[in-house]
Amino acid sequence: MFWPWEIISKIFSLNFTYKIDFNFDYQKILREYNEAKNKLSKINHPSIGIDHDGGWEVVALYSETGDAASVGKKVDIITKPTEIIKYFSYTHEVIKELLKKFDCQPRRIRFSTLKAKKKINWHRDWDESMEYGNSRLHLPLVVNDECKSNLCHESYQWSPGGLFYGDYSFPHQIINHGIDERLHLIIDLKDPKNLFSDTEKFHVEESKRKKYKKIIIPIFNIFYKYPKKIFRLLTFR
């Protein structure tokens, strides 16, 4: 089954994801995470029951308050390292190098885990796009072939060792059919410069996305977002 927004984005051949040119050792980041994970107090993403089924956990390296348990989102607030950054010396150096290379400020930076046999439902983060001066970058650390991600019609499985941008102002979902968790470091940046190796191509494709967003988002709201909201109201969820 394909949803209408998937069909439309496929018909018009929209591209949503890009690999970013940036070098780092993901194994060192993963090693730091594994060494520290028993000391971390991960929390369920606050949209439990709406955007996910309870298997989505996060812990912040940078947040608005400096608290690792703070996962609130205020786009225009520059964040600061949380108390757990002391366990992530190499990871912190990677983040600082990233901010320097792309001449930008940090927003939320967090480890995101999707447990085995769990899913993140279709949703959109309306402002997570370079269209609004924001970029959400994913640094995969643990993946499995049975974990499927979609941004509209585009199905992707990013491998560890890379850094990737997605235009998450469009509908997206993740379903982990595997027996292992999925772990990404998600890095939100404000006004990054020269993020893409082929800037001209990106802007051409961005203009195309903006054109068809005027069709895709209303259809997503009518067929999915509003019916879910009405159902929750009727069932007191």
- Chain centroid, CA 10 distance in Å: 21
Q: Does any domain span residue 88? A: yes
State the residue range of the domain holding 109: 17-197
Question: Would 202 be classed as within a structural domain?
Answer: no
Question: CA dihedral defined by 140, 144, 147, 149, rounded to 10 degrees?
Answer: 30
CA distance 112 to 235: 29
Q: What was the pLDDT predicted at 54?
A: 80
Residue 6 lies in a domain: no
Q: Does residue 205 belong to any structural domain of this protein?
A: no
When divided into structural domains, the chain yields a total of 1
From residue 40, alpha-carbon distances to 60, 78, 92, 113, 176 in Å are 10, 23, 16, 13, 23
pLDDT confidence of residue 232: 78
Residue 234: what pLDDT? Answer: 82
According to the model, what pLDDT value does residue 49 have?
Answer: 62
Closest of 20, 48, 51, 13 to residue 171, by C-alpha: 51
Which pLDDT score is estimated for 47?
64
Q: Decide: pTM greater than 0.85.
A: yes
150 domain-assigned: yes
- The answer to whether residue 103 sits within a structural domain is yes
Asked whether the beta carbons of 101 and 22 are under 8 A apart, the reply is: yes
Mean pLDDT by 10 residues, the chain (237 residues): 96 98 98 94 69 86 89 71 97 98 96 95 94 96 95 96 97 96 96 95 98 98 92 75
What's the pLDDT at 48? 61
How many other CB atoms are found less than 10 A from the CB of residue 232?
Answer: 12
In a domain, 234, yes or no: no
Report yes or no: 32 and 86 within 8 Å, Cβ to Cβ: no
- For residue 69, what pLDDT is reported? 83
Looking up residue 121, the CATH number of its domain turns out to be: 2.60.120.330
φ/ψ bin of 66: left (φ > 0), alpha (ψ from -120 to 50), beta (otherwise): left
Q: Is residue 164 domain-resident?
A: yes
